[in-house]
Chain A
Amino acid sequence: MGIMKGNDKMKPTKKMTSPQEKRIPHKSKIPSASPRPSKTSRAQHHQNASNQKQERLLGLVLNLNKSRKHLGEKIRRQTDELHLKDGLLRRGADLLQQSDEQIRLLTQAIESAADGVFIINVQKSNFPIIYSNPAFRTMTGYTKQAVMGLSYFTLYGTDPDLRLITEIKQTIRQKGYFTEELPNFKQNGTRYWCQLRLTPVRDASGTVAHYTGIQTDVTFMRQQDLEIHEQRDELLHVTRVGKLAEFVSSLAHEISQPLTAILSYTQAAQRVLADREPQIREILQYISNDDVRAIEVIRRLRSLLKKSVPEIKPLDLNTLIQDTLALVATDAMIRNVRLNSELSPGLPPINGDRIQLQQVLLNLISNSFDAMENSPTDRLLSIRTTRKDNTAFIVTITDTGCGIPATNLPKLFTHFFTSKADGLGMGLSISRSIVEAHGGRLTGENNPERGATFIFTLPMKRKGPQ
């Protein structure tokens, strides 16, 4: 830049003239008011003037040098300052660039996060959502436009848990953190479970105008937890049922022993009496008959609890139903239930296990009896057999009971599902398994007016070799 250095010494040469120097000759041309000197004094005077001029010139040069040095230093200082400022500017620009990149990265990270991230404005009374990432929108089913400005508590459904909402609002008022696993609702009303974390966003002054929410969809995990819980309950139930079955089985054995003895005693007594005491013999016969009936009940109970290999044989369905109705006739009388059967005559035999199918009938009839327990009048159980296109038989059991609550319908045939306080929840599920093992179907529905109807189908026995 051609800046002169401070230590450069300027030599008073004619070539290096300054405007001040140039003015000097003009000054010398100013006419003097003094009388004209002699030749010597004129020379002396000339000399003096020349010396003065030189001194003045030297002084000027010195001043000039000083000024130049000062200016040089000033320029140098300013240059240094400029360098410094330039460096600061460059650093500032770098930082700005870095900051931009950081913001871009953070935005990308939040936008591509698997968790739902959202920001709510907590200074407005309705807590509007002012930012949401795509995962949040996928989770909730809202579009970007729809979610913008939406009150955060809309996610808590049309019938929200007010206790929970109050708790969240209170936490926000206290600028606190909130974490909980809770249910939220998508735009279409579907419920999902999320692990929610609400965190206050503080500005430099410590004011909280926003909250960041992060929510993880834990519906699947929760469902699995529930399933595990249910399975554990089921397992406990199975164990209990298993133990109960063992107990009942051994109880049945213990009861059948004295019943067998009673039968032999009565038969012996009848024989001892031979032709004597007809009245006593008649009484003994009644004892014997009831003993056999009690033994039958025990045997049925044992066969219910025992896993036996099914005996598939040709069966007359109507006879099986009549036999079953005979078994429940006493119970029906006690419960004040009328039994009605409409059995289609001349049905060809079916292939099935008599005990298993009787178990299905007994179970459905017993359920109907229970359902009619609180019916004030007209307790009627109807069993009907019909044919279906020469391919299957249809057995319909209708009652006039309390019907099946709508919420129970989907779970009706699930293992261990029961609406009875003392039920095991095995009857209908076993019945369906038996009917399906026979190639049929078992369904249940409510009647239009009152009670319920259970229908099961059984395939007709095929002609020719089985």
Chain B
Amino acid sequence: MSWSSTKRQIFIVDDDESIGRALSLLLGTYGFKVKTFLNAEQFLKWVPKKARGCLLLDYHLPGWNGQETQRRLRASGSKLPIVMITADKDESLKAEILKAGAVGFLQKPFNDKDLVAALSRAFESQ
């Protein structure tokens, strides 16, 4: 499987600036194009309905959490695939998130290979 997904767009929503930056650097080495947001409101306000790419969404966010953001994004008509990331090991939450249409659920800290595999699946699902 090739990880080089040149120009594929990734949107990262995480309130931790450092995580956003680190993931940008990491995914950059895999050829992804990354745009980061510090909260869900900022992202939802910005994201065009027909935006393409993949959303890497932190579950614990100030204001709307990952689940609420997922619901609002779908309500807006966006089909942007979502990979949820969280520090919690919560199987029931995972099941809930995946049932609501997310294509991946990663527990922090995640291996770069697992991350890229989840994103690739997300792109394939489009």
Q: Do most interface residues of chain A lie in helix, strand or loop, or is the interface mixed?
A: helix
B89 neighbours in A (Cβ, 8 Å):
299, 303
A406 neighbours in B (Cβ, 8 Å):
none
Contact A268-B29, Cβ < 8 Å, known A257-B19, A261-B19: yes
**Minimum C-beta distance from A342 to chain B (A):** 32
Which of A256, A264, A299, A302 is within 8 Å of B23, CB to CB?
Answer: A264
**Minimum C-beta distance from A26 to chain B (A):** 149
Q: Is the CB of A308 within 8 A of B87?
A: no
Contact mask B1-28 → A, CB, 8 Å, 1/0? Answer: 0000000000000001011011101101
**Minimum C-beta distance from B123 to chain A (A):** 19
A311 neighbours in B (Cβ, 8 Å):
91
Q: Is the CB of A261 within 8 A of B16?
A: yes
Q: Is the CB of A292 within 8 A of B109?
A: yes
- A177 interfacial by beta-carbon distance below 8 Å: no
Which of A253, A258, A271, A295 is within 8 Å of B112, CB to CB?
Answer: A271
Q: Which residues of A, 253-279, contact B by the 8 Å Cβ criterion?
A: 253, 256-265, 267-268, 271-272
Which of B19, B28, B29, B30 is within 8 Å of A260, CB to CB?
Answer: B19
Q: Is the CB of B87 within 8 A of A260?
A: yes
Question: What CA separation (Å) do A292 and B107 show in the bound complex?
Answer: 12
- A333 interfacial by beta-carbon distance below 8 Å: no
Q: Is the CB of B25 within 8 A of A265?
A: yes
**Minimum C-beta distance from A349 to chain B (A):** 21
Which of A257, A268, A295, A303 is within 8 Å of B25, CB to CB?
Answer: A268
Q: Is the CB of A271 within 8 A of B109?
A: no
**Minimum C-beta distance from B38 to chain A (A):** 13
Contact A264-B26, Cβ < 8 Å, known A257-B19, A258-B18, A295-B109: yes
Contact mask A288-302 → B, CB, 8 Å, 1/0? Answer: 000110010001001
Contact mask B57-94 → A, CB, 8 Å, 1/0? Answer: 00010000000000000000000000000011111100
Contact mask A227-270 → B, CB, 8 Å, 1/0? Answer: 00000000000000000000000000100111111111101100
**A253, A261, A272: most-surrounded residue (chain B CB, <10 A):** A261
A295 neighbours in B (Cβ, 8 Å):
108-109
- A309 interfacial by beta-carbon distance below 8 Å: yes
Q: State how many residues of chain A have any CB contact under 8 Å with chain B.
A: 24
**Minimum C-beta distance from A50 to chain B (A):** 154
Contact A291-B91, Cβ < 8 Å, known A264-B25, A264-B26: no
Q: Which residues of B, 84-116, contact A by the 8 Å Cβ criterion?
A: 87-92, 108-112
Q: Is the CB of B92 within 8 A of A256?
A: no
Give A264's nearest chain B residue, CB to CB: B22
Give B88's nearest chain A residue, CB to CB: A302
Give A294's nearest chain B residue, CB to CB: B109
Q: Is the CB of A253 within 8 A of B87?
A: yes
Contact A261-B87, Cβ < 8 Å, known A268-B29, A271-B26, A271-B112: no
Q: Is the CB of A261 within 8 A of B92?
A: no
Give A256's nearest chain B residue, CB to CB: B87
Give A296's nearest chain B residue, CB to CB: B109
**B16, B25, B109: most-surrounded residue (chain A CB, <10 A):** B109
Question: What CA separation (Å) do A271 and B31 show in the bound complex?
Answer: 11
Give A298's nearest chain B residue, CB to CB: B87
| 10 other A-B residue contacts (CB within 8 Å) besides A253-B60, A259-B109, A271-B112 | A257-B108, A260-B16, A260-B22, A260-B110, A261-B18, A267-B26, A267-B112, A268-B22, A299-B89, A302-B88
Chain A residues within 8 Å of B, Cβ to Cβ: 253, 256-265, 267-268, 271-272, 291-292, 295, 299, 302-303, 308-309, 311
8 tightest Cβ-Cβ pairs between the two chains A and B: A264-B22, A271-B29, A268-B26, A261-B18, A268-B25, A261-B22, A267-B112, A260-B108
Q: List 5 A-B contacts (CB under 8 A).
A: A256-B108, A260-B19, A260-B108, A261-B16, A268-B28
